[in-house]
Structure 1
Amino acid sequence: MKLRYTAPALADLAGLLDYMSAHSPQGAKRVQARIKAIIELTLTHPQIGLRTEDPTVRRLTTSPYPYLVFYEIGNDEIIIHAVRHAARDQFEREA
């Protein structure tokens, strides 16, 4: 298995890390490390996330931080679709 990030997922990550870095550079590093660790966990345990309303998309939390990772299990890859703040607990598929 390998990881693939969609353009919106990369934009989500960049946006949240830019915001965090402006307010707390050390906090941004901790959040980034936690999100990375959670995403890498999907490589060995792809079914770990909860199913969403879209049956092909799963959701993982990044406790203790309030972010959600939305991903899909492909044939030989995990596709990261979005990284959102938990207050935006939704995944809108690209049109």
Structure 2
Amino acid sequence: MNILFTPEAANELEQVLERIYMASPSGAEHVGQRIRKMVEYLATHPHVGTRTNRAGMRRLIINPYPYAIYYNLADDTITILGVRHAAQNPANMPDAD
């Protein structure tokens, strides 16, 4: 399964890790490693995320951290649409083209 990040999702991930880094460089490393592992897990288990109210969009919570990966599935590609704090509203998430 191919994994693609939208530019917005890549930017969100960078911003999340930068905010964490300001408070705890090692914390940012741990969260970043966990997110990478979960993205790799998606490649082999693409349906693991729960469906959201938006057509085709799924959400995978990054336990034990309060972050989520929002993604779409199409054929053999997972498109990461966002990486954000789980409390953020996904309603303003850009659609995958």
| Range of TM-score over shorter length | over 0.9
Specify which structure has the higher proportion of helix. 1
* Pairs within 5 Å for 1:54-93: 54-93=54-93
Matched, 1:41 2:41: yes
- AA aligned opposite 1:48: V
State the distance in 2 between where 1:91 and 1:22 align.
27
Contact 1:68/1:89 (CA < 8 Å) preserved in 2? no
Task: Give, in angstroms, the shift of residue 39 of structure 1.
Answer: 1.2
Task: Give TM-score, length-normalised by structure 1.
Answer: 0.93
What is the aligned-residue RMSD (CA, Å)?
1.3
Task: Give, in angstroms, the shift of residue 92 of structure 1.
Answer: 2.7
Residues 41-94 of structure 1 show CA distances to partners (whole Å, capped at 9, x for unaligned) of 111011100000012100000011000100011212110000110111424342
- AA aligned opposite 1:31: V
- AA aligned opposite 2:73: I
Which ranges of structure 2 fall in alignment gaps of 5 or more residues? none
2:12 is paired with a residue whose SS is helix
2:92 is paired with a residue whose SS is coil
2:18 is paired with a residue whose SS is helix
Moved over 3 A (4+): none
Question: Percent of aligned positions with the same letter in both sequences?
Answer: 37
- AA aligned opposite 1:54: R
